[in-house]
Amino acid sequence: MPNFTSSAIVIRRIDFGDYDLILTFFTLKRGKISAIAKSAKKSTKRFGGILELFSVLEIVCSSKMDRDLMILQEADLKNSFSGISTDLNRTAYASYFAELVNEWTEPGARQEDLYRLLRHVLEQIDAGMISGEISSILFLIRFASIAGIRPNLLKCSICRLETDKIKEERVAFDFSRSGIICRKCAGKSISRLSLSKGTIKQLLWVESGGLEKAGKIKFTPQAIKEGLDLMETFTTYHLGKEMQSLKFLKRIRKEDGPYQY
């Protein structure tokens, strides 16, 4: 039974019988993997109660060649993100990102950029460095690039006129074409929403450059609203379904009132 060791983030945690847990980890070395933590429920001594959702761990797993499910042998806690688990709003955002990674990625496919992105946004939300809304915009736009579904924000998807050269302040975004549409071409487009060129500029800033810098960009309330609407609808469109965690997020956002930033 060869051992596998890696940094890992817990993205799913389900009870298995009376004693065990089945965990889905997003690991640095091998992307998404599933492992059973035997007796983790029965005895907190076994893993010291550290196998919580979103925790960053160093794990050691063993596997049998003929089975997809690994066996968790050891786990060492690196970050428990207590600032997330004690706050409903932060938990809702973290759940959305974890579910998205779980839904989108194939087991065993190494994706270091996505691992670093997920860990970065969790650290930022946990420390209260950025709001949930900004973390979501940052996560979703960079996730789209990594996943190979980057939206075209640079030119009209039909006539190819560059965004800077479009005269109107507002443009449409066409989901079936995965890009913006100028007003002249808008009649040829069906599935769309409207956004300002200012929002597009801010999204492009967040999409490029270092992660640290991207999280510090100041968004206007209008850009937060439009950016979130665009990226959440865009991601749902590509996934082909609205995830439970996003439905929950929208519900608590409504209860919280206007966007926080």
State the number of binding residues for Zn ion (CB under 5 A): 5
DSSP labels, 33-93: EEEEETTTTT-HHHHTT---TT-EEEEEEE--TT-S-EEEEEEEEEE--HHHHT-HHHHHH
Nearer to Zn ion, 192 or 250 (CB): 192
Give the interface segment with Zn ion, choosing from 52-60, 115-123, 180-188, 230-238 (CB under 5 A): 180-188
Least separation in angstroms between residue 241's CB and Zn ion is 30
Instruction: Determine, following the binding rule CB under 5 A, whether residue 1 of this chain makes contact with Zn ion.
Output: no
Least separation in angstroms between residue 168's CB and Zn ion is 11
Q: What is the DSSP letter of 152?
A: B
Site residues for Zn ion, 150-169, by CB under 5 A, read 156, 158-159
Q: What is the DSSP letter of 153?
A: -
> Rounded distance, CA 113 to CA 139, Å?
12
Least separation in angstroms between residue 234's CB and Zn ion is 19
Q: What is the DSSP letter of 183?
A: G
Site residues for Zn ion, 182-221, by CB under 5 A, read 182, 185
Binding map of Zn ion across residues 93-112, x = CB under 5 A, - = no contact: --------------------
Q: CA angle, 206 as apex, 203 and 209 as ends, to 5°?
A: 140
Give the interface segment with Zn ion, choosing from 126-134, 143-151, 181-189, 196-204 (CB under 5 A): 181-189
The strand pairing partners of 35, in sequence order, are 23, 70
Query: Rule CB under 5 A: which residues touch Zn ion?
Result: 156, 158-159, 182, 185
